[in-house]
Amino acid sequence: MKNFNILLLVVTSSLLAAEPSVYGAGNLDSTSPYGLTSSEKHILKNSNKVKDLAQGVGSVKIKLSQINENYEGLRSVTEAYGSKISKIDQKIRIIEENSAAKGESIASLQQELSDLKTYVNESRALQDANQEKIKLVLGELSSLIDSINSSYVSKDSFTQLEAKVAKLISAKKVSAISNKSSATLLKEGTAFFKKKSYAESKIRFEKLVKKNYKPARSNYYLGEIAYFQKSYKTAIQHYKKSISLYDKANYMPTLLYHTGISFSKLKKSSQATQFFDALKLGYPKSKEAKSLN
């Protein structure tokens, strides 16, 4: 209602001001109006109030605009701080959660460490007790050995005696086969070899070599016996002797293969390669050659 009255005054003033005086009297637009009637004076007064009010409103608008700008700036800053605070809160929660988890982990580790210390202490005590028992047993064993040495033969004497007995047994075995035929010795030697009775087999093939009966095959079996007993140098010697006597035997793939392996075991790779190459070239379809592929 107040705004409507102000607007009415402005409109009325504008209409009245449009009626100029003949001599300029009553000109409300003049910077120094004169000859005004009481109504014109009243209109002029109200017009001035309207101008002052309009200026005041403009000033208020400017201030409102400045306040609004300041508010927007503050709001932007506040939102930024709010975002930072939210991030800080989130970090605090993460730290608290991690701290709680770490606290549980630390507590668990401390418990495990405590259990481990207990186990170590128990193990140490048990070990100490076992050490005492071991010392006691070793003492008793030492006394027993001393008693045996004083009552019976010494270890060296026993070893010498054992060697003599083995030699006598071997001589007896050789004597026992001396009357057998070469064919029988070859058959028995092969049978003992298949049963891995290498000592018995060796006696027979050595006898066959001395009798020069099938020396290539006998040297091959002596090489095989040495090979399986891991006497690789002896095995190579017999293999070479065998191949020099007869190189067309059915056991040649095995002979070449085991000769190569024997050289490999002796760290002689070039010689080993020569025999492996000979195997692959001479007997490409053999299982020994295929095993090298």
169-226: pLDDT as tens digits: 655 566 667 788 999 999 999 999 999 999 999 999 999 999 999 999 999 999 999 9
**How far, in whole angstroms, is CA 233 from its chain's centroid?**
44
pLDDT at residue 3 above 70?
no
DSSP 293: -
In CATH, what is the architecture of 165-291? Alpha Horseshoe (1.25)
Does this model's pTM top 0.75? no
| 285: three-class secondary structure by DSSP | coil
Picking from 101-110, 135-144, 232-241, 269-278, which range would have the lowest pLDDT averaged per residue?
A: 135-144
**Host H or E run for residue 30:** none
pLDDT at residue 282 above 90?
yes
DSSP 35: S
Cα Rg of the chain (Å, integer):
61
Taking the alpha carbons of 199, 205, 209, 215 in that order, is the dihedral positive or negative?
negative
Q: Rounded CA gap, 188 and 163, in Å?
A: 25
Picking from 80-84, 96-100, 176-180, 228-232, which range would have the lowest pLDDT averaged per residue?
A: 80-84
Q: Rounded CA gap, 201 and 238, in Å?
A: 15
pLDDT-derived band of residue 108, with 50, 70 and 90 as boundaries?
confident
229-272: pLDDT as tens digits: 999 999 999 999 999 999 999 999 999 999 999 999 999 999 99
**Look-up: residue for tokens 């028995």?**
188
Number of helices and strands (H, E) in the chain? Answer: 10, 0
Which of 163, 168, 188 minimizes the C-alpha distance to 177? 188
pLDDT-derived band of residue 97, with 50, 70 and 90 as boundaries?
confident
Q: How far apart are the first and last CA of the chain?
A: 112
Q: Where are the domains of the chain?
A: 2-80, 165-291
CA distances from 201 to 46, 189, 219 (A): 146, 4, 12
Q: Rounded CA gap, 190 and 221, in Å?
A: 8
Q: What's the confidence (pLDDT) of residue 9? A: 46
Which of 255, 271, 259, 252 minimizes the C-alpha distance to 233? 259
